[in-house]
Structure 1
Amino acid sequence: MGEKWKQSIISNKYPTNRDVPLKSAQSWLDGRREDDNAEGLWRIHDSLYDFSDFIQRHPGGPDWLKLTKGIDITELFEAHHISEYPEKMIEKYKVRDTEKPRNITLTIKEDGFYRTLKRRVRTKLATIDSKELYQKLDNIHNSLLAASYLLCIMSAYYQSTFLALIAGLLVNWTVIIAHNYFHRKDNWRMYTFNISMMSYREWRISHAMSHHMYANSYHDLELSLFEPFLCWIPSPDLKNFVTRYLSWIYSPIIYAVIPILQFVKRSVLSVILGTKQLYWDDIIPFTIPLAMYFTVNIPLLTILKIWLTMLLSCGFAFGLIGLTAAHHHPEIVHDGDAMRDNRDWGLYQIDTIIDRRDLKGSQLLVLTHFGEHILHHLFPTLDHGVLPELYPVLYETMADFEGELRECSWIHHIIGQFRQLARITPNPCPPGHQKRKGNKQKFISAH
């Protein structure tokens, strides 16, 4: 890649390991340890902390701290702790101030957009009885999880390809809802993400730590994992005719095999690199064919064919929904595009997202289609049932900081995603200054 295109808009250094042949969650973490000036400790803003004695007592579970040792966790810490208590508590683990500046150039200042919004959200949450809202999400997840296994068994009983395709859609919706749970403290529901053959462990890194914190940038592992086949960065060095236009044709095939390829990749990396990529929870997806085997008296080969059909259906639906949910459209900021002068992390999150307005009003659609995307990125640990209650303070704070809430329909996101795959010219105008043409898309200002 040319040097011009290695200048990230959110960091001082092009990410180490971004262009290695075998990209993985582990290679991303290794690169961050090399780039983050954390000196083998945990960096938050311009201070170094040693949480070694706190790992097993971390309320969110030990993995969050185990994985991030040697990394700058500023954005992770801010986004995952709404309460003021953690900021006070960590002072006893402080080692010293840092000697080198942060590699990430985004800011989270006390008087900035995100900290202001978080203070207002904290006040608002104190007035909300969230127990019932959380229970509603749990009930929807329970229902879809049970329906997924039931329909898989029915597809085996009737040996129906059609039912297997529908079962795959249900598994996909179950997995999308399950993704909300691995953003939080350890819980049994996060394991249901694995029924798709994907791994919540890997996605805690690629999604929660990478994509959620640095969406659409060179630091977003969810972008680099698809390259060179799918590339949304507007760089002529990364794209050719095939990736710009033929990707429109072969992208559905990539969607379909995402879950299977992720399982295969983890298995291969375990053998080639000798690093632990597989865990006990990687047997969870096999509970589906086992459920079919022990309840339906049909040949094993038939069960495997039905399971494969279900997995491909799940993968296609997951890829289609996930990659056209909110992030890829020519008017959304990607690395290389101009950024606003205010480099507040919260405003950057908003600039990398256009929400889907066609999901509003339906809790089920929001949960199964990555809805309420802006608020979910800003406060990933909050239940989706709570997020709609936060719009008044979001509008208020966006108005104070010249932010803009943009929305469009799913069809415009799908079309925009293909346009983004073809785009190689960076947007020269920062968000808020771009001219919006025509009435095909409706963008709603916070003012």
Structure 2
Amino acid sequence: MSPNLQNNHNSQSRHRGTDLSNGNVKGFQSSFPGVIYSGPRGEPFPNIFDWLQAKRNGDNIGSLWRVHDNLYDLEAFVDKHPGGRDWIKFTKGTDITEAFESSHIVGFKNVEKILEKYYVAAASEPRNSPFSFKKDGFYKTLKTKVEPILKTVGTDSSHLALQIEDGLAMTYLILALFSVWIDSVVLQVIAGLVLGMCIVGAHNFFHKRDNFRMYYMDLSPLSSFEWRLSHALSHHMYPNTVLDFEIMLSEPLVEFLPSRPKNFVQKYIAVFYVEAIYLLYGLSQIIVRALSIIQGKQRLRPENLLIFLELSIFMTIAPSHKSGIIAWIIIFMMSSFWFIVVSNNSAHHHPDAFHDGDEPRIDPDFGLCQLDATKGKSDWFHKPLFSVLTTFGEHPLHHLFPTICHSKLSHLKPALEETLKQFSEEFPQLTQLELFIGTHKQIGRTTRNRHKAAQQRGH
């Protein structure tokens, strides 16, 4: 192990057992022994490319790719990858075990054979990840039960899912143009909310191989390219841990992890201004992207110009240039509000969900840890596919199998329930109101939750 990694590991070991409520734990500390995040935290305008570099530093494998305990050279595979080149290109120098396992369900053995062709050597250091993939563990067992189901029902989007997503995009465009033309703030707000639903739905499509529907997200200031990296490769793989980039997005204004030091404002006042942050988040991403491009961390992509095309059209058809600009701002603020308020209150940030700083499982199986950090929804109105696509529905199954279209996830419920019973695990569901209230409680939480197994042991 390199000196820097060893020093970080020793530093983490010395802090084990620190009272989290005293705020004495540094931001990169993790509940999982040995997990390192060496990037910046709590700084304004966090960037996914900084996160990727920090992950490369923590994984410490040079210019190769790591899957489990082996190293591979996938350089020649970048343009051959069926899902698109970005997934391979931008993960160079990182451990992609979680992404490899959760992205390939049907025909997994064939995928393993392809990977073997690019084998270089065995890794010399432990993985900088908390999760396990034992052959007889929960996740591997669930995958074997799910594969035959998906071979029957398929993994791609149903016609209804495509119609819903395309319908939302078309509805947004019509509403936006009409609301700007007649200068109606009410219709602009509605158009923004419809756009918010559309970009939530687009999230279903950027988890899959390259397709045009993922670019619906670029109708807003959010970027399908950036969210593919941050959401699919960070949040989905390491939810609610120090490796989860989305946890950092609101820091230091809002602190979700109980292991992060929290002052009076962060503990008691943040719950009152958090919704204002949701409104401004989308517009802030224009600034983040501009700075990243200026600093040479990324290149300007053609789809980044869509929002400015919308601005020019709005200014042209509006009664005045000023009203066109105002409409552009209102629409994007409302789309951001829908996207972030639904995202933050959909599944993860209830106090009963695992957050780094809480006691982890003794054997952190990837699938069970995904469920620990995710809550299901029990409300009837979250059952229809329209709601699933526009509110991050079926979230537990989506985290277990992110590349499977949301329209097919309901078919996997019996397999999940059977596997939970087999491993004597439970997965309680909550109402949307309970999740909403829980998110606001979580913002101020500094106490450490013990894992249920430890509670049962009386430890």
TM-score, normalization: structure 1?
0.92
Query: What's the secondary structure of 2:424's corresponding residue?
Result: coil
Distance 2:242 2:337 in 1: 25
Mapped pair 1:100 → 2:100: no
Partner of 1:375: 397
Partner of 2:169: 145
Distance 1:376 1:248 in 2: 28
Partner of 2:80: 57
Partner of 1:349: 370
The structural deviation recorded for 1:406 is 1.9
Alignment of 1:62-81 (within 5 A): 62-81=85-104
Deviations 1:330-351 (A, max 9, x none): 1110001112223100000000
Partner of 1:441: none
Query: What's the secondary structure of 2:152's corresponding residue?
Result: coil
Partner of 1:394: 416
Q: Judging changes above 3 Å, is the alpha-carbon distance between structure 1 residues 165 and 114 closer, same or farther for their aligned structure 2 residues?
A: same
One-letter amino acid of the counterpart of residue 194, structure 2 = L
Per chain length, whose mean CA-contact separation is higher, i.e. which structure has more relative contact order (CA < 8 Å, sep 6+)?
Answer: 2
Distance 2:77 2:248 in 1: 33
Query: What's the secondary structure of 1:55's corresponding residue?
Result: helix
One-letter amino acid of the counterpart of residue 217, structure 1 = T
Partner of 1:44: 67
Distance 1:92 1:101 in 2: 23
Distance 1:369 1:11 in 2: 34
The structural deviation recorded for 1:434 is 8.0
The structural deviation recorded for 1:433 is 4.8
The structural deviation recorded for 1:407 is 1.0
Query: What's the secondary structure of 2:306's corresponding residue?
Result: helix
Mapped pair 1:199 → 2:262: no
Distance 1:245 1:297 in 2: 42
Partner of 2:151: 126
Alignment of 1:321-332 (within 5 A): 321-332=342-353
Distance 1:3 1:418 in 2: 22
Partner of 1:26: 49
The structural deviation recorded for 1:289 is 3.1
Distance 2:256 2:372 in 1: 15
Alignment of 1:180-259 (within 5 A): 180-235=204-259, 237-259=260-282
* Preserved CA contact (<8 Å) 1:17 1:23: no
**Unmatched tracts of structure 1, length 5 or more:** 436-447
After TM superposition, the structure 1 stretch with the greater mean CA deviation from structure 2, 322-331 or 104-113, is 104-113
* Preserved CA contact (<8 Å) 2:314 2:328: no
Query: What's the secondary structure of 2:71's corresponding residue?
Result: strand
Partner of 1:440: none
The match for 1:7 among 25, 29, 42 is 29
Query: What's the secondary structure of 1:180's corresponding residue?
Result: helix
Distance 1:405 1:213 in 2: 19
* Preserved CA contact (<8 Å) 1:266 1:277: no
Task: Supply the RMSD in Å over aligned alpha carbons.
Answer: 1.9
Distance 1:264 1:350 in 2: 34
Distance 1:9 1:392 in 2: 32
* Preserved CA contact (<8 Å) 2:257 2:356: yes
TM-score, normalization: structure 2?
0.90
The match for 1:423 among 445, 448, 455 is 445
Q: Judging changes above 3 Å, is the alpha-carbon distance between structure 1 residues 339 and 311 closer, same or farther for their aligned structure 2 residues?
A: same
Partner of 2:427: 405
Q: Judging changes above 3 Å, is the alpha-carbon distance between structure 1 residues 231 and 297 closer, same or farther for their aligned structure 2 residues?
A: closer
Partner of 1:278: 300
Alignment of 1:291-310 (within 5 A): 291-293=313-315, 296=317, 298-310=319-331
Mapped pair 1:340 → 2:361: yes
Partner of 2:406: 384
Q: Judging changes above 3 Å, is the alpha-carbon distance between structure 1 residues 95 and 51 closer, same or farther for their aligned structure 2 residues?
A: same
Deviations 1:69-112 (A, max 9, x none): 00000000001111222111110100111111111121011111
Distance 2:33 2:50 in 1: 18
After TM superposition, the structure 1 stretch with the greater mean CA deviation from structure 2, 14-23 or 369-378, is 14-23
* Preserved CA contact (<8 Å) 1:199 1:282: yes
Partner of 1:443: none
Distance 1:4 1:268 in 2: 27
One-letter amino acid of the counterpart of residue 285, structure 1 = I
Q: Judging changes above 3 Å, is the alpha-carbon distance between structure 1 residues 346 and 285 closer, same or farther for their aligned structure 2 residues?
A: same
* Preserved CA contact (<8 Å) 2:133 2:140: yes
The structural deviation recorded for 1:206 is 1.4
Q: Judging changes above 3 Å, is the alpha-carbon distance between structure 1 residues 3 and 161 closer, same or farther for their aligned structure 2 residues?
A: closer
Distance 2:217 2:27 in 1: 35
Query: What's the secondary structure of 2:330's corresponding residue?
Result: helix
One-letter amino acid of the counterpart of residue 267, structure 1 = A
Point out 4+ residue stretches in structure 1 off by more than 6 angstroms: none
Deviations 1:173-215 (A, max 9, x none): 0000001111111111111111111111111121110000000
The structural deviation recorded for 1:231 is 0.7
* Preserved CA contact (<8 Å) 1:216 1:327: yes
Deviations 1:206-228 (A, max 9, x none): 11100000000000010012111
Q: Percent identity?
A: 37
Distance 1:309 1:227 in 2: 24
Query: What's the secondary structure of 1:48's corresponding residue?
Result: strand
After TM superposition, the structure 1 stretch with the greater mean CA deviation from structure 2, 17-26 or 171-180, is 17-26
